[in-house]
Chain A
Amino acid sequence: MTLNQLTAHEAINLIKKKRITAYEIMQDIFSQIDKVDNLIKAFLVINREEALKQAKEIDKKVKNGEKLPPLAGVAVAIKDIIATRGTETTCGSKILKGFIPPYNATVINRLREAGAIIIGKTNMDEFAMGSSTENSAFGPTYNPWDLERVPGGSSGGSSAAVAADETFVALGTDTGGSIRQPASLCGMVGLKPTYGRVSRYGLVAYASSLDQIGPIAKDVTDCALVMKVISGHDNMDSTSVNLEVPDYLKSCQEGIKDLKVGVPKEYFIEGIDPEVKGALDKALKIFEKLGAKIEEVSLPHTEYSLPTYYLIATAEASSNLARYDGVQYGYRAEEYEDLSSMYQKTRSEGFGSEVKRRIMLGTYALSSGYYDAYYLKAQKVRTLIKEDFDKVFNKYDILITPTSPTPAFKLNEKVSDPLTMYLSDIYTIPINLAGIPAISLNCGYSKSNLPIGLQIIGKHFSEETILRAAFNFEQNNDVEKKKPSIKPAKHKEAKK
């Protein structure tokens, strides 16, 4: 076994006990990246030199007997939509190619202060718009479990990197499922925090009323560790909430006998893969065995979530993405006649087709004469969706659902039909609309050895409860945890 295969909490303990050094960890991490990332293509930028330097500093602290910060020596990969001072941040877009942020996102400063080592930036759907990472301007990322399949998206690079043992943990962002769906498709743990739990300062905005940063990890313990570090109020983000951050790890240690679990019947729609349904049923039995009380519940407005989400998200995106005009940063078209044509040519050459489609949809929904029919209507239905959750959470502590209706799908399978692609986020989208937290973790594997995820949803600011439920399930799941064996795709071998 090489050190990159450890979890973050195992590595932290071994460093503390002086059994291994942070430098040795980094060597194994980078040798894994060298070995597999030409197949996975999870990374856009790799910070080798800086990471090795930071590892040496941590080892010096260990040697001098200094107190170690909570994530000392933990390799973290960062989705390329989070600003990293001095390191290129592209959002997977040609329009930001070469952009070097002059400041760090708050989460980056918090991770650095906690001793984490940022090893690189990960691939993503352009501006987080997508569910497969195929919309990256820099080419797709491949699922470590099957290189002919997508890792999910938009945080596909982050989840593939964790699954392929190229990093211990990663940060992703989740606007409609972009942490949980790729975590599920790659067999990892991914948490979307309550809206306002984690500062969005330095997160390039897609849909500001829905976006949240969260961790993707190999297990629930690592997820809880990272959550503790990145959560909390920040003066730089007026939507970050001033609430105390609980000790997530400690609450994991308690049982779940007291928990009342709701299973929303509307989530078992046509189109759910029978293997996903089967894995979830088995998982629910384990929750029952652990003492949780399980009952069917109803979220009657579920079927309206998708149109509501796409109207709100695209409207906010069309406004947020107006800033890419070629003036202050990023790409500027070479040839244009006047200012207006510079804007048009810059944006038309710089954005990819899904981003343009969403800007068009959002601009239309906000345009004069259509605002009430589309945007305002969607905001009203958002209220109804949120109230559905408020009602069930009066009686239940958590909800359990599948994370995605199918395991990982093949590359090119859904690109030509945007609506089918949007449907892969059907179980994750309502959670962002309600602003509540949810975690996805592995509950089994399909016959063709693809991971299947389940989603645990909680009330506002109840990350403690969903992490506790997830931890208890993880410790008692009778499906043995697997690691992907990364093999070149068959058709590629044939070509050789």
Chain B
Amino acid sequence: MTEKIITKKEVEYVAELAKLEFNEEEKEEFTSQLNSILDYFKKLNELDTESVEPTAYVISMPNLLNEDKVEPSLPREEVLSNSKYVEKGYFKVPKIM
């Protein structure tokens, strides 16, 4: 690899954005792996895409919208049943304020 594209400090910043945490060893490993992957991705710069439109979805079709009609949703108990941290019909999280 010739130059560093992403530094360890940037890896720490991106981890913060992604709500992930790593120990020192993992940070070093990610920095080196992400650098070699990003270095390989530089290949895309060979292409002039100045006048190319980006593609987000490949199938061109009109929006399909459902009728604005009230329909039953999942029962509250079932939705809550996948968490151990439930109180009075709500999900429980640590104090925010």
Contacts and interface: CB of A to CB of B under 8 A. Distances in A.
Interface of A: 98-100, 102-103, 194-196, 209, 233, 235, 238-242, 301, 303-304, 306-308, 310-311, 318, 322, 325, 327-330, 332, 336-340, 342-345, 347-348, 351, 356-357, 359-361, 363-364, 367, 374, 376-384, 386, 418-419, 433-435, 460
Nearest to A345: B21
24 contacts: A98-B82, A196-B59, A238-B63, A241-B59, A304-B44, A307-B40, A307-B43, A307-B44, A322-B19, A327-B91, A330-B82, A332-B85, A339-B95, A344-B20, A344-B21, A357-B33, A364-B10, A367-B14, A377-B44, A381-B44, A384-B49, A435-B58, A435-B59, A460-B58
A364 B20 CA distance: 13
Contacts of B65: 238
A461 to B, nearest CB: 9
B18 A359 contact: yes
B70 interface: no
Contacts of A364: 6, 10, 14, 34, 38
Contacts of A418: 33, 37
B30 A339 contact: no
B14 A379 contact: no
Contact of B49 (A233, A240, A338, A380): A380
B82 A382 contact: no
Interface of B: 6, 10-11, 14-15, 17-22, 30, 33-34, 36-38, 40-41, 43-47, 49, 52-59, 61, 63-66, 74-75, 78-79, 81-85, 91, 93-96
Nearest to B19: A343
Contact of A386 (B22, B58, B96): B58
Contacts of B19: 322, 325, 340, 343-344, 347
Contacts of A361: 34, 37-38
Q: Which of A102, A241, A332 has the most CB of B within 10 A?
A: A102
Q: Which of A240, A336, A363, A367 has the most CB of B within 10 A?
A: A363
Contacts of B47: 301, 304, 381, 384
Given A196-B59, A418-B33, 13 more contacts: A100-B81, A100-B82, A102-B81, A209-B56, A310-B37, A310-B41, A328-B91, A339-B95, A339-B96, A364-B38, A377-B49, A379-B54, A383-B54
A241 B61 contact: yes
A287 to B, nearest CB: 27
B27 to A, nearest CB: 11
A453 B19 CA distance: 40
Contacts of B46: 304
Contacts of A240: 64
B60 to A, nearest CB: 10
A338 B84 CA distance: 18
